[in-house]
Amino acid sequence: MIPLWNLAGLIPPIRPGEEGHGTDRSPYNATFSEVIEHFGVTPDRLAILTGLLEYRQALYGIGITAGFQWLDGSFVENVETLKERSPNDIDVVTFFRLPGGQTQDGLFEQAQHLFDIQQTKQQYRVDGYPMILGEQLEDWHVDQISYWYSMWSHTRDGKWKGFVRVGLDPDGDEAASQLLQDMQEMEVVQ
């Protein structure tokens, strides 16, 4: 379950009431349906979630079905109140296992558009970064993961904040797709 925004309009980095050394902390595990229910509070946010769903479906379409995503950026903040604007996109790191029989070079050649930040931002409103799981851990992997965790655990002005972890789940995303569609239809009716 994703904690509610705190008074600063941020997801708390540690679940309220937990010890500072406790394990119930960011990144918070959630299903994609929970992400939709939690963050799909405006038409702009629903549009970004639609783009994220389409991005996830495109990943599934090339065989990327095992792994998870970290979700962050202004999308997980209450920017409507904090900055009097809507979020523009969602920041996503996709940690994934290569599809069977696929090489990193072959996959990136086949689906370069899904790993190009400019294209994912334009097509899906996703600022997307790939990270392959199951390969030998190199120094640069640790550096990159540390960078994301450090950057995503703070706002630009230094406030601590949390972010969300969502498993890749093609079956679960079918239910999430229906939920998203239902919420968009409710927005139209209102």
The pLDDT, as a whole number, for residue 137 is 81
The pLDDT, as a whole number, for residue 136 is 82
Q: How far apart are CA 75 and CA 60, in angstroms?
A: 23
The pLDDT, as a whole number, for residue 189 is 53
Q: Which of 35, 14, 74, 44 is nearest to 172 (CA)?
A: 35
Q: How far apart are CA 78 and CA 85, in angstroms?
A: 9
The pLDDT, as a whole number, for residue 74 is 93
The pLDDT, as a whole number, for residue 162 is 95
Q: How far apart are CA 162 and CA 44, in angstroms?
A: 21
User: pLDDT below 70 — which residues of the chain?
Assistant: 188-190
The pLDDT, as a whole number, for residue 186 is 81
The pLDDT, as a whole number, for residue 188 is 62
Here the tokens at position 87 are: 């979020």
The pLDDT, as a whole number, for residue 111 is 93
The pLDDT, as a whole number, for residue 54 is 98
The pLDDT, as a whole number, for residue 19 is 87
Q: How far apart are CA 69 and CA 82, in angstroms?
A: 25
The pLDDT, as a whole number, for residue 23 is 86
The pLDDT, as a whole number, for residue 113 is 93
CA 99 vs CA 32, 65, 69, 96, 175: distances in Å: 21, 8, 16, 9, 23
Q: How far apart are the first and last CA of the chain?
A: 27
